Amino acid sequence: MEVLVDTSSIIYSFCLKKDIFANIENLGFTPVVVSSVIEELKEISKRNSKYAVAARYALRVIEERKKGKRIRIIKTKGNADEAIERIAKKKKIRVCTNDKEMKKRIKKLGLEILTVKSNGFVGE
């Protein structure tokens, strides 16, 4: 089983100094990231903020996991949120997001949502 992970949950998790991908694996799921999210992380990493530090760390972790085939990357174009919603709907995959608007849209699709909290994940 897989979980599509969006930018908001990745940034929040790494700001908490937690590896979201390892935590997803510990729940028995395979983390999946769309390439549009990786592009968003690259843009955020260029800024001068705590989010940039988290984005740079997340990008390093993603690269390491790609080498070990411990993460699945789906090539996409355009807006990351739209790509995640499209793939989640088509493949009926859970989504991990901390974005309130995205949560509403995913719920309307009838799909399970995971949210990153300071003490772990919450399923919705």
CATH of range 2-123; options 3.30.2010.10, 3.40.50.1010, 3.10.20.30, 3.40.50.300: 3.40.50.1010
- Give the C-alpha separation, 95 to 114, whole Å: 6
3-state secondary structure of 118: coil
d(CA 66, CA 75): 13
Least confident of 30-34, 38-42, 48-52: 48-52
| pLDDT tens, residue by residue, 41-94 | 999 999 989 899 999 999 999 999 988 888 999 999 999 999 999 999 999 999
Please report, for the chain, the start and end positions of each structural domain, with discontinuous segments joined by +: 2-123
Other CB atoms within 10 Å distance of the CB of residue 2? 17
pTM confidence score: 0.90
Q: With contact defined as beta carbons under 8 Å apart, do 1 and 29 qualify?
A: yes
